[in-house]
Amino acid sequence: MDPWLALVGREWKAMHNAENGGPNEPWVMIGDFNIICYHGEKEGGGQLCKGAMMEFNDCLESNLFKDLKWEGEMLTWSNGQAGQKRIRCKLDRCLVNQSWLDHFGSWEALFDHPGILITVHAF
């Protein structure tokens, strides 16, 4: 097994445990997950790690995680290069459970780089 895939597999299990600790309580998980969900979330660079994408998507689906609507650039990370060497991806996410949506209503996340400033506000 790919060592990176083994590492992220543990992370996805930890996310599952977070949800199991309080599925009826509203919660949010915000950050750079260092993985994309589908091919359209990446421009440039080499091959995608399809196994890691599948693991992440399985985690989101099995735990009913919702990727909160966002404002700003969809591709939140760039390697800072130009032309053929440029790589951009959607790595930043604001994940919530259904209880959070039920409690707080419709919200969206604003991802503002450089640096990670994430503001969550109602719309």
Which 3-state string (H, E, C) describes 39-88?
A: HHHEECCCCCCHHHHHHHHHHHHHCCCEECCEECCCCCEECCCCHHHCCE
Q: What is the pTM of this model?
A: 0.75
Average pLDDT over residues 66-86: 88
Look at residue 115 in the predicted model and tell me its pLDDT: 53
Measured CA to CA, the distance from residue 90 to residue 18 in angstroms comes to 23
Considering only residues 104 and 19, tell me which one the structure prediction assigns the higher pLDDT: 104
Confidence grade of residue 64 (pLDDT, cut at 50, 70, 90): confident
- Report the number of distinct structural domains present in the chain: 1
CB 34 within 8 A of CB 5: no
Q: Which residue has the tokens 């991802």?
A: 111
Measured CA to CA, the distance from residue 42 to residue 79 in angstroms comes to 12
Q: Is the pLDDT of residue 104 over 60?
A: yes
Average pLDDT over residues 101-113: 78
Look at residue 119 in the predicted model and tell me its pLDDT: 64
Best CA proximity match to 36, nearest among 63, 13, 67: 67
Domain containing residue 117? 3-122
Look at residue 86 in the predicted model and tell me its pLDDT: 96
CATH code, domain with 68: 3.60.10.10
Confidence grade of residue 1 (pLDDT, cut at 50, 70, 90): very low
Q: Is the pLDDT of residue 76 over 70?
A: yes
* Identity of residue 35: I
Q: Is the pLDDT of residue 43 over 90?
A: yes
